[in-house]
Amino acid sequence: MHFDLTDEQRAIQDTARRFAQNEIRPRVKEEGFKRDIVSKMGEMGFFACAFPANFGGTEAGFLAHSVVCEEISRADSGLRSLFNLQAMTVPYTMMEWGTPEVRSRYVEALNSGSRLGCTCFSEPNAGSDIASIETRIEDRGDHFLINGAKTWISNGTVAEFAVVYGTHDRSLKHKGLCAVVVETDQPGWMPRETPKLGDKSSPIAEITLENVKAPKENLLGEWGKGFVVAMTALDRGRISVSSGAVGLSQACLDASVEYAMQRVQFGKRIGEFQLVKGVIAEMVSLTEAARLLVRQGAWLNDMDRPFSREIATAKYFAGEVAAKVSGMAMEIHGGMGYSLEMPVERYYRDAKLYQVGEGAANIMRLLIADDALGIKKANRPRLHVSSDFRDLE
């Protein structure tokens, strides 16, 4: 692994940073979903880094995807979820596991930002344990019929396409899971937005599905093999999640350094006090360590090598770092950190999601420990076809 970004990756990073500064930061206090910003990010190719040209991609790779995601999250962590939904867990999963009809109909529309997507894993009684999914997918001969309830679905109120995970037989547990692409403009798709602590620019919903239909060609992978589809989707989604956590940590560090060099107490800037320097040093070290772990995982994916263990480690560590560093930023800012005038209160609220969402910290711990103990290897071959997809139409 090379620790320097390539010229192309650095140019992409600079473009994303300028976009964040010019387009996102001026509107960061506006709560709610900003469709125009999503469209602009799609037009800039931010969601298409990992896709080949024949699917509307820039072929810049997963590390470039990570770098862009970090820069956007540094400005507004709430926009980070889009890099899962518009790049990884929805269109990339469709490209990897979908029929030619699915690939041609949905992939480029999503990674270009012209259409919006969501992934439907979680349910009221099934979170990390996706083998307990209760949503029912029935094969009705010429179509699938879907009934169930989903919760904590990012983009759920705005998505036009969804990857829905359900079961055709609950007694089979994970061996009964199926993944189906659903178009949401039908009466049985009923979303309701969920109020939440942070990530205010990312709508999250509870979704009821009543007799929702999908054509047979919208099955991803094989009937009853949806668990494998889910695992590949989650692995790649963790690149986005962990990159977002690094971006948020960097934002906390940026704000803390600026404040420490402006705030004067006892006749000098607080950044000159030894204890404050110690906090800043720890913030720098933790953020840099998380960044290297994340980029290692993304780089391994670019090399078409197994990366499940590495990206689980990165997701776990980066999530812990985001939560810790955001607390440190509050400490540096003192009473002002508790004020709505400063950005760190928003960072503090946004940070917690990285520990509990899209691969909870305890689940990552189990995956990492089982691998280390030899109980269950994390890096299993999962790719459906070659990850560059250049041979697909």
Q: Give the residue numbers marked as catalytic.
A: 358
Report how far apart the first and last C-alpha atoms of the chain are (Å, whole number). 31
Closest CA to 152 of 128, 181, 123: 123
Q: Which is it for strands 189-193 and 264-265: parallel, antiparallel or unpaired?
A: unpaired
Do 315 and 295 contact (CB within 8 A), yes or no?
Answer: no
**What letter does residue 5 receive in the DSSP assignment?**
P
Do 157 and 206 contact (CB within 8 A), yes or no?
Answer: no
What's the burial of 335, exposed, middle or buried (CB within 10 Å: 0-12/13-18/19+)?
exposed
CB atoms within 10 A of CB 307: 25
* Helix (H) / strand (E) containing 136: strand 136-139
Rounded to the nearest 5 percent, the helix, strand and coil shares of the chain are 55, 15, 30
CA separation for the pair 242, 315 (Å, rounded): 5
330: CB partners within 8 A, 6+ apart: 337, 338, 344, 345, 348
CB atoms within 10 A of CB 269: 14
CA separation for the pair 1, 18 (Å, rounded): 27
Rounded (10°) angle between helices 308-333 and 361-373:
140
